Structures are given as structure tokens and as C-alpha cells.
């Protein structure tokens, strides 16, 4: 399966699941039974209707940053700039998308599955220093990265499907260009992944400032993401402190993306696996 290019994608949800498709093409695991992410909702416009152009106003909060005074496109731009500069974040959430009908052989080559594929991720860190866990149906993949050293282990099902049984016995060490881990690394650069989702060259793509709301306990401005006047998703951006992205939700009948972002700028404590955590040699 060739990953859709943002320049040629015709539908917003294809953009949302494009990074998932990178992993799906190389490491599609069978038996995926995902829980669909919630559809984007807003008090300003129900899914499938035109978004309003009303100016958002903020309630008084401590240390306001004034981001809600900007238009939707500028809110998106500022939040992406902050995330790309900060790099480190705790990301949790999932992608779901239709399983590819065809896939190029991988090395090793798991068997393609049918129906819907999904990847759930819990990632802490930056693109070059992180710890992450991915769940694909009943398969689990754990990664740690310290610069050019990438450590990977899985449960037995994933190890069998990836053709490396030692992965179920402990961590194996790879380089970032190794075929076993390379595609997974596309899902570990959270700021770049968010930029890919939000700034694709899609006809009719617009951003509109919506309601003042909250993301968890954090005050936020909701930005409506529309394509040809149809609601495709929402991004919540912090209205206090630095205006970081807090939650992204995109969905329609072709796929979903649902992510929560927290602890921007806090570097994780990532260490190489202990000798006892490594897979036995041979």
C-alpha cells in the first residue's frame, strides 16, 4: 500500500490516518478489533454541517495567553510552532482506518488483516528520546529510543507475526534505519505527526475559532477543522500558559484520530534496558 501524499489526498480523514498507513503497510498485524475514537463534536456545529464564523471570547483565567483572540488558522499555526519547538510531550490516543486491500511485502512480512486496523499509542518524549507502547488488537509493541539506539520488545503474538520470536523474550537493539523499527518511528515524532495531520494541502480545508471549553482541567479554545464546509475534526489549544495543542479529534466513515497531549516540554527519564531485560542471544 502506498501511503497517500498530503498533496493528493482528497478527503480530510485520509490525512488523519496517513501516518497510520505507514505502519499498516509495513507492519499490519492480524486480529485487530479496535474501539473507534469518538467523532468530533462541538457546541458550535454538529458533524457534517458548516462551521460558524463567530468570534470566540474567553472567560477570565489565570495567566491567559490571549490565543483565543486569533483566528482559527493563526491558532493552529501558533500551537504547531510551539509544539515543534518544544518537541517533548506525553501523547496518548489512537488511529483507526480501513485495512489496506494490498500491501507491499515487509521484511519481516506479517500477514495482512481484514476489516479495520487500529494503532493505540502511549508515548512520552521526543522523536529521538522516548518510551512508547503500541497496541494493535491483541498485539503489543514496546519501544525505547536513546538517540541512535532503538530497543524493541513485543508480546508473543506480535513476535510471531513479525517473524522474530526473540522479541517476546526481551528487548532487541536496532538502529533507527532498521526495517524492523523504521516504520514504527513515524508514529513517535508527535509534533511532526500533528503538523502532517493539520497542514496537508487539501482543497477547501479551513480552521475556525470556536467555543471556549476545557481539555481535562485546562482551559482551551476549540478550533473547528472543516473541509468544504463540513466538520472533519477539532483541535483544543490551551488558553493559559503557552498555547500548546491539548486534544485532537477527527473522524468520519473512513477513519478516526483521537489524541490527547500533556506535559509539553517535560523530558522523560528514558534509559537503556538492563541486561536482564534484553532478549537472550541466539
Query: pLDDT at position 257, please?
Result: 86
Query: pLDDT at position 47, please?
Result: 41
Is 183 in contact with 197 (CB distance < 8 Å)? Answer: no
Half-sphere exposure of 246 (CA within 13 A, CB side): 20
Taking the C-alpha atoms of residue 128 and residue 236, their distance in angstroms, rounded to an integer, is 26
For 179-237, the pLDDT digits (tens) are: 999 888 888 999 998 998 887 666 778 999 999 999 999 999 999 998 888 898 999 99
What is Dmax (Cα atoms) for the chain?
Answer: 64
C-alpha cell at 205: 480545508
When comparing pLDDT for 49 and 125, which is higher? 125
Residues 6+ positions from 269 with CB-CB distance below 8 Å: none
pLDDT band of 106, cuts 50, 70, 90: very low
CATH architecture entry for 12-269: Clam (2.50)
Nearest to 140 by CA among 156, 117, 124, 123: 156
Q: What is the mean pLDDT of the chain?
A: 78
Domain map (residue ranges) of the chain: 12-269
Using DSSP bridges, classify how beta strands 139-146 and 149-154 pair: parallel, antiparallel or unpaired.
Answer: antiparallel
Q: How many Å is the Cα radius of gyration of the chain? A: 19
Query: pLDDT at position 253, please?
Result: 58
pLDDT at 15 over 60: no
Amino acid at each position: 500500500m502506498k501511503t497517500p501524499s498530503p498533496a493528493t489526498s482528497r478527503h480530510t480523514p485520509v490525512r488523519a490516518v496517513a501516518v497510520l498507513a505507514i505502519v499498516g503497510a509495513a507492519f499490519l498485524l492480524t486480529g485487530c478489533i479496535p474501539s473507534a475514537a469518538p467523532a468530533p463534536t462541538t457546541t458550535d456545529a454538529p458533524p457534517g454541517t458548516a462551521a460558524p464564523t463567530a468570534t470566540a471570547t474567553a472567560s477570565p483565567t489565570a495567566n491567559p495567553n490571549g490565543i483565543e483572540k486569533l483566528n482559527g488558522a493563526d491558532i493552529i499555526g501558533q500551537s504547531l510552532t510551539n509544539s515543534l519547538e518544544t518537541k517533548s510531550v506525553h501523547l496518548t490516543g489512537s488511529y483507526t482506518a480501513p485495512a489496506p486491500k494490498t500491501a507491499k511485502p515487509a521484511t519481516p512480512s506479517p500477514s495482512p488483516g481484514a476489516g479495520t486496523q487500529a494503532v493505540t499509542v502511549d508515548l512520552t518524549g521526543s522523536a529521538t528520546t522516548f518510551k512508547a507502547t503500541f497496541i494493535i488488537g491483541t498485539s503489543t509493541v514496546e519501544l525505547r529510543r536513546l538517540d541512535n539506539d532503538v530497543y524493541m520488545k513485543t508480546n508473543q503474538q506480535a513476535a510471531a507475526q513479525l517473524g522474530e520470536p526473540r522479541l517476546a523474550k526481551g528487548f532487541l537493539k536496532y538502529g533507527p534505519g532498521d526495517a524492523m523499527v523504521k516504520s514504527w518511528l513515524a508514529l513517535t515524532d508527535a509534533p511532526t505527526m500533528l503538523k502532517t495531520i493539520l497542514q496537508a494541502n487539501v482543497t477547501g480545508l479551513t480552521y475556525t475559532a470556536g467555543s471556549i471549553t476545557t481539555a481535562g482541567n485546562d482551559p482551551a479554545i476549540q478550533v473547528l477543522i472543516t473541509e468544504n464546509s463540513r466538520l472533519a475534526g477539532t483541535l483544543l489549544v490551551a488558553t493559559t500558559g503557552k498555547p500548546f495543542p491539548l486534544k485532537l479529534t477527527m473522524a468520519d466513515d473512513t477513519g478516526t484520530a483521537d489524541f490527547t497531549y500533556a506535559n509539553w516540554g517535560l523530558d522523560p527519564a528514558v534509559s537503556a534496558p538492563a541486561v536482564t531485560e534484553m532478549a537472550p542471544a541466539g
